[in-house]
Structure 1
Amino acid sequence: MSATVEDAILFRSVVGAVTPLAEHNRATQAKPAVHTRVRSTHSATEILDTLSDYQAQPSAETYLANGLSRMVLRKLRRNSIDDSLDLHGSPIEEARVLLQHFIFSAIQQGFRHVRIIHGKGINSPGGEAVLRALTRNWLTQHPQVLAYCLAPPNLGGDGAVIILLKSN
């Protein structure tokens, strides 16, 4: 729709001699507050209750959530670590609680790449790496874990995993 000469004359007759307000008389609008939203609807305790010790199959050296490319694992090995948790030597129930609280805290802080040291089982009875298998099992069940892989040798090798967490 185009403005005609008659429209312009009509507009000027209605508006008349309007002048803009002086700068000191203008209202200022406050910027809207920025609200950060945590997408996790589960508390640390609720998730802790769902982490089972039962293993349907032996724990794998890597885990990748459905729909993610194997390139994610390759990149995960090369990324820097935001935080780390050392579980080796911890009793099983304590390790489960520590792992859950560590992941919850990491997500709250916006960390995406974390390391969990579970140990190699060298000092365990029978030399069996109980925490290694349980840690990997718990991670595959955790809703905030997208992927994990063995840590490079300088970061713990097969005694640790590097984890990719969902972003906030």
Structure 2
Amino acid sequence: MQDDDFSLFRSAVRGVKPMQHDRADTGKPRSNKAQVATRRANAVVGDGEPRVDGLSDQFVIDVGAEDELYWSRDGVQDSQLRKLKAGQVPFEGSLDLHGLNVEKARQLLWDFLAEATKFEIRCVRVTHGKAARTDGRRPMIKSHVNTWLRQHPQVLGFTSCLPRHGGTGSVYILLKRTMLEGRDE
């Protein structure tokens, strides 16, 4: 029976050539230090074309790492914001802005809120982080998100999340809905 197995194996590997080297190709490209340095430099510099999206950086409200964010437009019921703060309004989408530069964070936030509005989503969560900056100043992305959300026309209000959803490093955002045709609510 062993001879049958051996001949079966030989016929299965007929035509196979032995490998000439013993190193595996992981497919992972080696890091190009010049390319990494260029990418880092480009991350800090804008592309020169300011986006006209209504989210201004002219005045940024600085907030602390542990500061709770809470804001609503005039006319939004206090009970709605209390429910939002208590996590009783389920969020249907989430965006993480950790590690991004300000311009990229603004672009992603704008696009994310536009998408949520398009699909008539009522509440989303945005994680901005709360890391203190190396220069000792307030958290940059958190401060910008706090400012931008107040300017966005679809945002009715926002509040810091419950600890299980990111605490003071994230916000629940209550959005306007225009009611799609044929929708009952």
Give the TM-score normalised by the residue count of structure 2.
Answer: 0.60
**Mapped partners of 1:104, 1:132: distance in 2:** 20
Distance 1:62 1:48, change over 3 A: farther
Is 1:48–1:97's contact at 8 Å kept on the other side of the alignment? no
1:62 match: 70
Structure 1 residue 126, shift from structure 2 partner: 3.2
Q: Deviations over 1:58-115 (max 9, x none)?
A: 5671111011222111111321110000001111000000000000001111211000
One of 37, 51, 57 as aligned partner of 1:53: 57
Give the TM-score normalised by the residue count of structure 1.
Answer: 0.66
2:89 matched to 1:79? yes
Alignment RMSD (CA, Å): 1.9
More helix per residue: 1 or 2?
Answer: 1
Runs of 4+ residues over 2 Å off in structure 1: 54-60, 124-128
Residue type at the aligned position of 1:49: D
Q: Give ranges in structure 2 of 5+ residues lacking alignment.
A: 1-50, 179-185
**Mapped partners of 1:48, 1:112: distance in 2:** 25
| Range with bigger deviation, 66-75 or 145-154 | 66-75
One of 71, 83, 101 as aligned partner of 1:91: 101
1:125 match: 134
SS of the residue corresponding to residue 125 of structure 1 reads coil
**Mapped partners of 2:145, 2:54: distance in 1:** 14
Is 1:115–1:160's contact at 8 Å kept on the other side of the alignment? yes
Give the fraction of aligned pairs with identical amino acids, expressed as a percent.
38
2:112 match: 102
Q: Number of residues paired by the alignment?
A: 121
SS of the residue corresponding to residue 108 of structure 2 reads helix
2:5 match: none
Residue type at the aligned position of 1:125: T
**Mapped partners of 1:57, 1:150: distance in 2:** 15
One of 149, 159, 162 as aligned partner of 1:139: 149
**Mapped partners of 2:177, 2:54: distance in 1:** 21
Looking at CA atoms only, which structure, 1 or 2, has the larger radius of gyration?
A: 1
